[in-house]
């Protein structure tokens, strides 16, 4: 039986280029078919080009950047937001790419936000044709509003952030439903900034693994996930130079 290996990695934006490169190399060593990155901003495009070709969305006239090497990935990188999706070039070809906003600028009740403003949150989406199977796959990378959770619940003193995060989730679920209705198999991966978040229409990689170690710190908080069709047959956590553990999930096709 064939399978699809999907990885998600929040690669801390403060990491030095050497450590960011090492983290991505460590993730790709598991040979994922599909990859989602968070906090991988355009300042790291030079590093990303070492692992394949890069489409920046919106393009801003940049076109396709870099030349694939073996093993190569097709990457889709948002201009802003830090979310990237990738697909292994020997298996997938690019059909389309886009960025969708799940929230814009808004007022924040986090005391550390400059001028009390929350920045926009985007989802990067790549649609790929699968050469191995007769299907198209929509791969989404998200990084939802942070600072909303305390003790596995919404922070009682941050109602603006709670409303914003709930809206992020609803809009992400709407994107999932839109692409499923269009006939695509959907994977949505990333950092929800909320423990064990579930998305309607998909199955969390942590389903049945609720007591496994988490993706941040030494506890069981699972902020990072690979959500997709059906339960994962295997889930691996990778400890990297980043502050989040990367997640690699295998699902039967």
Tell me what pLDDT residue 194 has. 97
Q: Is 73 exposed, middle or buried (0-12, 13-18, 19+ CB in 10 A)?
A: buried
The strand pairing partners of 228, in sequence order, are 203
Tell me what pLDDT residue 69 has. 56
**Average model confidence (pLDDT) for the chain?**
93
Indicate whether 66 pLDDT > 60: no
**What region does 60 belong to: left with phi over 0, alpha with psi -120 to 50, or beta?**
left
Tell me what pLDDT residue 236 has. 98
Tell me what pLDDT residue 111 has. 86
Q: What is the mean pLDDT of residues 120-137?
A: 97
Record the tokens describing residue 2, joined without a space. Answer: 């064939």
The strand pairing partners of 65, in sequence order, are 54
User: Which residues make Cβ contacts (< 8 Å) with residue 9, sequence separation at least 6?
Assistant: 23, 24, 27, 35, 36, 37, 38, 224, 238, 240, 242, 244, 246, 247
Q: How many CA atoms lie within 13 A of 159 on its CB side?
A: 0
Tell me what pLDDT residue 63 has. 54
When pLDDT is cut at 50, 70 and 90, the band that residue 61 belongs to is low
When pLDDT is cut at 50, 70 and 90, the band that residue 58 belongs to is confident
| Interval 226-248: pLDDT, tens | 999 999 999 999 999 999 999 99
**Cα–Cα distance, 47 to 201 (Å, whole number):** 34
Q: What is the mean pLDDT of residues 121-129?
A: 97
What's the CA angle centered on 179, arms 178 and 184, to 5 degrees? Answer: 150
Q: What is the mean pLDDT of residues 30-40?
A: 98
Q: What is the mean pLDDT of residues 14-35?
A: 97
CATH architecture of 3-252: 4-Layer Sandwich (3.60)
Record the tokens describing residue 77, joined without a space. Answer: 């990188």
Record the tokens describing residue 253, joined without a space. Answer: 């096709």
**Cα–Cα distance, 211 to 207 (Å, whole number):** 10
| Interval 75-113: pLDDT, tens | 999 988 999 999 999 999 999 999 999 999 988 888 888
Tell me what pLDDT residue 171 has. 98
Which residue matches tokens 């949505």? 188
Q: What is the mean pLDDT of residues 141-163?
A: 94
Indicate whether 64 pLDDT > 80: no
Q: Which of 42-56, 159-173, 187-201 has the lowest mean pLDDT?
A: 42-56
Indicate whether 136 pLDDT > 80: yes
Sign, CA torsion 73/178/207/170: positive
Indicate whether 210 pLDDT > 90: yes
Largest CA distance in the chain: 54
When pLDDT is cut at 50, 70 and 90, the band that residue 1 belongs to is confident
Q: What is the mean pLDDT of residues 33-42?
A: 97
Length of the chain: 253
Tell me what pLDDT residue 112 has. 84
């Amino acid at each position: 039986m064939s399978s699809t290996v999907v990885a998600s990695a929040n690669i801390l934006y403060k990491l030095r280029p050497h450590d960011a490169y090492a983290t991505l190399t460590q993730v790709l060593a598991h040979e994922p078919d599909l990859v989602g990155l968070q906090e991988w901003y355009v300042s790291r495009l030079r590093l990303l080009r070492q692992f394949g070709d890069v489409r920046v969305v919106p393009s801003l006239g940049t076109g396709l950047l870099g030349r694939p090497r073996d093993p190569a990935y097709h990457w889709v990188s948002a201009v802003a937001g830090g979310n990237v999706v990738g697909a292994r070039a020997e298996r997938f070809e690019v059909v389309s790419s886009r960025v969708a906003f799940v929230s814009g600028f808004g007022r924040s009740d986090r005391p550390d936000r400059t001028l009390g403003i929350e920045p926009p949150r985007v989802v990067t989406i790549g649609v790929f044709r699968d050469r191995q199977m007769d299907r198209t796959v929509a791969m989404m990378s998200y990084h939802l509003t942070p600072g909303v959770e305390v003790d596995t619940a919404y922070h009682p003193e941050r109602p603006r952030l709670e409303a914003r995060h709930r809206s992020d989730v609803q809009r992400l679920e709407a994107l999932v439903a839109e692409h499923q209705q269009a006939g695509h198999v959907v994977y949505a991966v990333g950092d929800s900034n909320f423990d064990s978040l579930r998305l309607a229409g998909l199955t969390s990689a942590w389903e049945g693994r609720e007591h496994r170690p988490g993706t941040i710190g030494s506890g069981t908080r699972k902020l990072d996930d690979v959500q997709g069709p059906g339960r994962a047959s295997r889930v691996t956590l990778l400890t990297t130079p980043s502050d989040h553990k990367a997640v690699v999930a295998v699902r039967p096709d």
